[in-house]
Structure 1
Amino acid sequence: MLHLQGERLAYGDHVVLPDVDFRLRPAERVVLLGRSGSGKSTLLNTIHARLVAQGRRDLALVPQEHGLVPQLSVFHNVYMGRLNRHRAAYNLVNLVWPLTSQRRQVEKALVAVGLEGLGRKPVGALSGGQKQRTALARAIHHGGTVLIGDEPVSAVDERHAAELIARLGQRFETLVLALHDVALARLIATRIVGIKGGRLMIDRPAQQVSDGEIDALYRL
């Protein structure tokens, strides 16, 4: 699906990961672990950009900053997950006066993330956790087989985070997620990639990675 070999990845003018070898295969559930600033987002953004460049239409994204429009309703933000599936005139109608059929489809995504009945609420009035759920609902509404997520459940409590991660695993065949919660990583990952000091220190099947190796990623 994707192969980065000897890649030099930067954030702006700053080289974050100077020599990256990374391969993504269909049906993998890859979790990136490491301290804040280690390069997880840089690697995720590169993966997403390369998959987009391939012309993939089965790719959903949950960015770290959610990518929501606060002035618009939850419905409108989730509906935007499928803007590319319809003509401009059809999208304009639904942005001004949403069709019942589209409200029903969006509501299914809202139910999946625990936001049922909140479609008409402005995103700007939501809590941090609700905004994150809205971004997840948009990705679910978009659909596809591949999900790229940068800390997609960081603002949700532990129990609901586990439920949402499990649901994403049911909805998408291939996952690449940056997480800060090791327990969640263990719950979903088939493969763990650990980043430290500008290097991919771990890149193995999840069951082969020890807790001690993961702990070492977070030591100064």
Structure 2
Amino acid sequence: MTLVALHRETLGYGRSTVLSEVSFALAPGERVVLLGRSGAGKSTLLNAVYDRLVPQNRVALVPQDHALVPQLSVLRNVVMGRLDDHGAVYNLTSLLHVRPGDRVGIAAVLADLGLADVIDRKVAGLSGGQRQRVALGRAWWRGGTVLIGDEPVSAVDETQAEALLKQARFRFDTAVLALHDVALARSYATRLVGLNRNRIVFDAPAETVDDAQITALYAR
């Protein structure tokens, strides 16, 4: 079974091409990590995969900019992970007065992320690492078939990043992430995809990708 497949496609924005001749497929149970220099097209590929998955799958998304509402509390930002489960009236009342059952569930998610003590704090007052964990909490609360994440642990230290990716592995069988830390990528991924010069230059099981291939991705 294949969840999404791209075959020799050109990806970009408007008339601007970012990636050429892209072939990519995702099967259930795969944890794919995209590697490459800034500007290599990782976000472009993630967006394309996300757009293809959403019509028929429940997808949890962690965008690079977090996409949080700074003026709202951590609790209400996480509630938003399930807004498309209900209609407008239900969602409005949920944001105004979070239902007790939702608060209990979200509190448990935030406790796992080390954010239990900031549940009612406005996101605007949080550090970068805390904001990133709120974005993860929103994805955890949403749940779903696939996790899509664009540098989802870039704002935390290595120890925290490892712990967060363990949570991701536990909560989502299938994922496509862009990561900048190669060691983390190797420890998490079942498959590594390298991007360079507007193309996918390798796509292989993580254990078969050698250091020389990785180094070549980041060479000037």
TM-score w.r.t. structure 1 length? Answer: 0.96
Identity %: 55
1:102, distance to aligned residue in structure 2 (A)? 1.4
Match of 1:45 in 2: 47
Match of 1:197 in 2: 197
The AA in structure 2 aligned to 1:55 is Q
1:100-157: per-residue Cα shift (whole Å, max 9, x none)? Answer: 2111111111112111121110011111101000000000000112000000000011
Question: Could you tell me how far apart the structure 2 residues matched to 1:134 and 1:189 are?
Answer: 23
Question: Could you tell me how far apart the structure 1 residues matched to 2:15 and 2:77 are?
Answer: 32
CA RMSD of the aligned region, Å?
1.0
1:20 corresponds, among 19, 22, 31, to: 22
1:34, distance to aligned residue in structure 2 (A)? 0.2
Question: Could you tell me how far apart the structure 2 residues matched to 1:137 and 1:164 are?
Answer: 10
The AA in structure 1 aligned to 2:12 is A
Match of 2:56 in 1: 55
SS at match of 2:193: strand
Unpaired segments ≥5 residues, structure 2: none
Would the alpha carbon gap of residues 7 and 161 (structure 1) be closer, same or farther in structure 2, given more than 3 Å must change? same
Question: Could you tell me how far apart the structure 2 residues matched to 1:140 and 1:178 are?
Answer: 18
Question: Could you tell me how far apart the structure 2 residues matched to 1:13 and 1:132 are?
Answer: 32
Q: Which moved more, 1:2-11 or 1:83-92?
A: 83-92
Question: Could you tell me how far apart the structure 2 residues matched to 1:218 and 1:96 are?
Answer: 47
Match of 1:80 in 2: 80
1:45, distance to aligned residue in structure 2 (A)? 0.3
1:17-53: per-residue Cα shift (whole Å, max 9, x none)? Answer: 111011111110000000000000000000001112x
Q: Does 1:183 align with 2:186?
A: no
Matched residue count: 218
Q: Which moved more, 1:113-122 or 1:132-141?
A: 113-122
Question: Could you tell me how far apart the structure 2 residues matched to 1:16 and 1:30 are?
Answer: 20
Question: Could you tell me how far apart the structure 2 residues matched to 1:4 and 1:90 are?
Answer: 37
